[in-house]
Amino acid sequence: MTWKAMTAERACDVVDFWASVEWPQTAEQVQQLGTGVGWTPDDDEMMQNRTDDLGEPSVAIITLPSGEVASFSFWVTDVVRESSEGATSFLDDHYALLVREGRSRWGGAELSSGEESSAQWTLSDGARVVATRGSQSVFVDFITPQYAAVLQDLGE
């Protein structure tokens, strides 16, 4: 089976794009800004990443009660539905490359392992980036500075 993935450089370029945005933004504003990375607006606070030709193009936008965007996630790899040595290697390799590229751009990461491994960075503006090696995919969560502050106040 052949799976697709965006390069680690492309994934980090997408994060850098969002880190350069002046926050806060509404979901509608984020949908319009997403065109800057090749994403297209969709219904119901979603965007579509068809640029990277992954099997799952959906980018869900999560908003705070105020209407400001809290976070959104995007896939870095296809969703791998089979369990095999090749699938494990594919996901592990792309996660490792993503973490290495993230470290080169944003410095050391807070690493965690378990059922899902993750690397988390806090960017200079307070935004958080979390790269996760899930059981079936590698994905990135971008957490806006406003929501990161809420999480910090909650001790997370």
Please give the model's pTM, rounded to 2 decimal places: 0.95
Count the alpha carbons within 13 Å of 49 in the hemisphere toward its beta carbon. Answer: 25
16 located within any domain: yes
- Which residue from 76, 126, 124, 73 is spatially nearest to 101, judged by alpha carbons? 76
> For the chain, what is the domain count?
1
- CA pair distance 50, 70, nearest whole angstrom: 23
36 located within any domain: yes
Q: How far is CA 22 from the centre of its chain?
A: 18
Q: Are strands 58-63 and 110-112 parallel, antiparallel or unpaired?
A: unpaired
33 located within any domain: yes
Q: What is the pLDDT along the chain (156 residues), one digit of tens a residue?
A: 689 999 999 999 999 999 999 999 999 999 999 999 999 998 888 999 999 999 999 999 999 999 999 999 999 999 999 899 999 999 999 999 999 999 999 999 999 988 899 999 999 999 999 999 999 999 999 999 999 999 999 988
Range of the domain at 18: 8-153
2 located within any domain: no
